[in-house]
Amino acid sequence: MAKSGQLTHLDERGNARMVDVGKKDVTAREAVAECRVIMATQTLKAIVSGKVPKGDVFSTARIAAIQAAKRTHELIPLCHPLKITKVTVELEPESPDSIRITATVKALDRTGVEMEALTAAGVAALTIYDMCKALQRDMEITDLRLLHKSGGKSGDYHASKGSRKGPRTRKT
C-alpha cells in the first residue's frame, strides 16, 4: 500500500505497475462525470429535431458511452477490469448552443469507477462530434471532470460548485 501522497502506479524504482487491489474490500462504488459539447445553435436544433443525416445522435452517444465504460480497462493501461452493475448517461441540450453529458457508473468492486465515468462522458461527446461533423467541424468538447465519487477507503468526493467557470458560449 502506498504512503499518503505517493503515486500508487509506480514501484520503488519509478516503473509503471498495476496496483494490487486484492486485499481491499468489495464495496459499492459510484462515480459521476460530466462534459459539454459546444456547437452552433443550428447544429443543436438539428440534433434535437432528429435531422442529423447519420441518425439519432442521443441514442448512439448513449450506447457508445455505455460500451466505453465497460471497456475502460482496455483503453487506460493501468485500470482494472471492474464488475460494473449500472451505467446511465444523460444528454441534456443547454440552450442555445451546448449539450451537457452526465455519466454515472456503479460497481461492486475493490476499486473505484471514476475512470469509467470519465471515459463514458468523453466517448459520448466524441460520438456527438462524429455524428455531427458534417454539419459543423468546429464544435468544442469541454469541461470533462469528475463531479462525484463514493465508496471505498478514501470516502466520498464532491466537486466544488465553483470549480467550473460557468458556461461558455459561441456566437453563431
Grid coordinates of 13: 524504482
**Residue 23 burial (CB count, 10 A):** 7
Cβ proximity of 117 and 32 under 8 Å: yes
Side chain identity at 75, as an amino acid letter? L
Kindly list the catalytic residues: 130
Cβ proximity of 44 and 169 under 8 Å: no
Q: Long-range pairs for 66-75 at CB < 8 Å and ≥24 separation?
A: 66/120, 67/123, 68/119, 68/120, 68/122, 68/123, 68/124, 69/103, 69/105, 69/113, 69/116, 69/117, 69/119, 69/120, 70/116, 72/115, 72/116, 72/119, 75/119
